[in-house]
Amino acid sequence: MNNFKFWSPTEFIFGRNTVNRVGQLIKKWGGTKVLVHYGGQSAVKSGLLADIEKCLQNDFIEYVKLGGVQPNPLDTLVYKGIDLCRNENVNFILAVGGGSVIDSAKAIAAGVPYAGDFWNFFDRTVTINKALPVATVLTIPAAGSEGSDSMVITKTKGGLKRGAGSSQLRPVFSILDPSLTFTLPANQTANGIADMMAHVMERYFSQTPAVELTDRLCEAILLAIIKEAPVVLREPDNYDARANIMWAGTVAHNGLCGVGREEDWATHGLEHELSALYDVPHGAGLSVMFPAWMQYVYTSGIDRFVQFATRVWGVEPADAKKDTALKGIKALKDFFSSLGLPVNFEQLGAKSADIDKLIATLKINSGDQFGAFRKLDMRDARTIYEIAAKG
């Protein structure tokens, strides 16, 4: 096991009706003038936004609102949010929504105290060492941004989708009420499930030896998701199943599963090019890319793939390790299919004719080499996209 530092300071408030505590929590964390940031329409339609406004008014907390964050959030709204916060002397940001809203909120939070262009954080010419406090009311378990130190934004000009991170970006508190996720359509629920599984697997597929505890934590999270995913799709208002999925999404990405081990993240890099080019949901893109990446790299660490197949999918070990490993990969792919997720380019709405475009932006974003389980170059990436295209 490698040396590590683990710092995950977010205060998580989990359960039914916990949204009522939002005003009290904002006060506790020093907010006096709040930007309430939200997405397209789900939080308005469900009445959640109105409930939050009522809480803030009851607690005499001043606020301004900025909605309209779209999935795969854009830099243009971030600039707008930064201007709004400066003009209104906002000192606290409340994100009401999923990963897209939370990431947009984080970018605004980092951009407000910074005199230059906030995109400098994403082209990595400047590090983030100051940000307004961000808190979240999570409405879709998926990205794990409610507990993570990172954010992903797309630059409208050139369509570059990039991540940036800082410990300053960990939300101060996150409210997780599983009943807020009852309204999620099946496809969004499934996209979220693929993303949280991917967050575990990006950490699980590591060459670092002697990481039994984190291996077991990863496997436990995957097993819980595999058990509860069909239940939430069948019974969207099953509170306990939604609760397990919601917490799985958070622990999949707050860093706990990756301590002491080298993480991979090649598949996220490959996927971000798909969601940037086609504006497809991140989770759907991962459902296509993860099995393809696995098929390409499994020989670089076959014992790990055998472990994945046997411990996570209950595959009976075959005589040849290769057969066991491939059965595990197939089980993952079949599972994604059973949730209605895409497993090839056509189902995703992507085209193999665009692989050159994907490679061009991947090279800009990920450099000549990326990934850790197996170091990949652009030739490898091309083959993985070709495998993904066929499914």
* Binding residues for ligand NZQ (CB under 6 A): 39-43, 71-72, 97-101, 103, 139-140, 142-145, 148, 150-152, 180-181, 183-184, 188, 191-192, 195, 253, 268, 282-283
DSSP string of 200-244?
HHHHHS---S--HHHHHHHHHHHHHHHHHHHHHHH-TT-HHHHHH
CA angle 102, 104, 106 (to 5 degrees): 70
Q: What is the CA radius of gyration of the chain?
A: 20
Binder of Zn ion out of 103, 146, 195, 263 (CB under 5 A): 195
Q: In terms of CB distance, is 146 or 195 closer to Zn ion?
A: 195
Nearest residue relative to Zn ion (C-beta) = 195
| Nearest distance, CB of residue 306 and ligand NZQ, angstroms | 27
CB of 264 to ligand NZQ, least distance (A): 13
| Residue with smaller CB distance to ligand NZQ, 137 or 343 | 137
Closer residue to Zn ion, CB minimum distance, 268 or 327: 268
In whole angstroms, how far apart are CA 14 and each of 61, 242, 250? 23, 12, 11
Draw the binding track, 140-179, toward Zn ion (x: CB under 5 A; -: no contact): ----------------------------------------
* 359 vs 276: CA distance, rounded Å: 12
How far apart, in whole angstroms, are the C-alpha atoms of residue 375 and residue 274?
20
380 binds Zn ion (CB under 5 A): no
Binding partner of residue 42 among Zn ion, ligand NZQ, none, CB cut-off 5 to 8 Å per kind: ligand NZQ
Nearer to ligand NZQ, 146 or 380 (CB): 146
Tell me how far, at minimum, the Cβ of 54 lies from Zn ion, in Å.
Answer: 33
Nearer to Zn ion, 269 or 328 (CB): 269
Nearer to Zn ion, 195 or 264 (CB): 195
Instruction: Let me know: does 318 contact 168? Beta carbons within 8 Å.
Output: no
Which residues neighbour 212 within 8 Å (Cβ) at sequence distance 6 or greater?
A: none
Q: Return the axis-axis angle of helices 282-297 and 266-278, rounded to nearest 10°.
A: 140
- Any idea how long the chain is? 391
Among the candidate windows 120-128, 133-141, 191-199, 295-303, which touches Zn ion by CB under 5 A? 191-199
Work out the burial of residue 274: count CB atoms within 10 Å of its CB; fewer than 13 is exposed, 13-18 middle, 19 or more buried.
buried
Partners of residue 161 on adjacent β-strands: 154
Q: Which does 101 bind (CB under 5 to 8 A by kind): Zn ion, ligand NZQ, none?
A: ligand NZQ
With respect to ligand NZQ, which residue has the nearer C-beta, 188 or 324? 188
Q: How far is the CB of 379 from ligand NZQ (least distance, A)?
A: 25
Q: Which is nearer to ligand NZQ, 168 or 191 (CB)?
A: 191
Residue 351's contacts (CB-CB under 8 Å, 6 or more residues apart) are 345
Q: Of these partners, ligand NZQ, Zn ion, none, which one is at the site of residue 307 (CB under 5 to 8 Å by kind)?
A: none
Phi and psi (nearest 5°) for 165?
Answer: -150, 160
Q: CA 256 → CA 7, 10, 149, 226, distances in Å?
A: 9, 13, 12, 20
Binding site for Zn ion (CB under 5 A): 195
